Copies of this chain bind each other. A is one copy, B any other.
Amino acid sequence: MELPLADDLHVHLRQGDLLALVAPTIRTGGAGRVLVMPNLKPPVTTVARAAAYRRELQAVAPGVEFLMTLYLSPELTAESLVGAAAAGVVAVKSYPKGVTTNSESGIESYAPHYPLFAAMETAGLVLSLHGEVPSDPDRGTSILDAEARFLTHLEQLHRDFPRLRIVLEHITTAAACACVERLGDTVAATITVHHLDLVVDHWAGRNHNFCKPVAKLPSDRAALRAAATSGHPRFFLGSDSAPHPRHDKETACACAGVFTQPLLMPYLADAFERFGRLDRLRDFACRFGREFYRLPRQTGTIRLERRPCVVPDAYGPVVPYRAGETLAWSCE
């Protein structure tokens, strides 16, 4: 099966040694273009920092196109965003406090950012949201309903900025699927590889499957599978591939994230085939995201073969998703 190079519209590529390990696996996994998380220390908030980060990435993975993002923060201005768009930045990322790696400085209310959103709408920048309210068990919120409770914020943003393209990233619930489908053509969602198969059982005591948002109920998984294989153009691939060294996973308080980059397309082919919808893989991984982000077609192709592929136990210090298991598909 020959496919265009995939667009992975949500990746964590880290810094330093981990960057050098991970960035070259993008192409191996079948992606040729990736939307890069700005959650470095400190977060990427300027065009100059984004450009420097892109140079670092391209030095170790020259065959990959890196789409850069800025982190939504008080440091941004409407003027800086117009300049960022002109310089090739494609999206601004929002993640609430404490819900993803290096998000301690995350925001809690969108109101202060409305001037930025107006500028983004005009400049054609996409707003990418980590859609969870902060969990607060003492007030009745848990990580299981943090995404569903975020959806009213998404609806409000869309009402207030109907022309602003918004991506709700790594959705995990039936509620989010329904909400995104219900909203207008400027609202889309990414779906990860791992949320197509994991439910709460799979991360209970198994930290390599622990990520945020956490995988939820079987009924949520069914909705995600339906959305990813539906042919609906506003559901597309964003792997949220998030490498952490083993010692940060096999520990008392594990980091959140599942590493899928090196076998991205084999994982997906394996899953879509099990769902009986291999025919929908191409649009999900290679077309709908590109169209929503208004990107040109990629010229390269990959070949997926129905040949067993054993997931390595580790890539350097990082344990990948489904380590040791056998996938039905390999990527050339």
Interface residues of A, Cβ cutoff 8 Å to B: 135, 137-144, 199-208, 210, 214, 217-219, 221, 249-256, 319
Contact B250–A218 (Cβ < 8 Å)? no
Which B residues are CB-close (under 8 A) to A139? 218
Task: Give me 18 other A-B pairs in contact (C-beta within 8 A), A141-B218, A249-B252 excluded.
Answer: A137-B201, A137-B202, A137-B218, A139-B218, A140-B218, A140-B219, A143-B201, A144-B144, A144-B200, A144-B217, A204-B214, A205-B253, A206-B252, A206-B254, A207-B254, A208-B252, A250-B251, A252-B319
Could you tell me the dominant secondary structure of chain A's interface residues?
loop
Contact B135–A201 (Cβ < 8 Å)? yes
A200 to B204, CA, bound (A): 10
Contact B207–A142 (Cβ < 8 Å)? no
A53 to B324, CA, bound (A): 39
Which B residues are CB-close (under 8 A) to A202? 137
Which B residues are CB-close (under 8 A) to A141? 218
Contact A217–B142 (Cβ < 8 Å)? yes
Q: What are 15 sample pairs from A and B whose C-beta atoms fall under 8 A apart?
A: A137-B201, A137-B218, A137-B221, A139-B218, A142-B200, A142-B218, A143-B200, A143-B201, A143-B204, A144-B144, A203-B204, A205-B254, A205-B255, A206-B252, A252-B319
Contact B253–A218 (Cβ < 8 Å)? no
Contact A199–B137 (Cβ < 8 Å)? yes
Which B residues are CB-close (under 8 A) to A203? 204-205
Contact A142–B201 (Cβ < 8 Å)? yes
Given contacts A138-B218, A142-B201, A142-B217, contact A207 B252 (CB under 8 A): yes
CB distance from A201 to the nearest CB of B (A): 5
CB distance from A284 to the nearest CB of B (A): 22
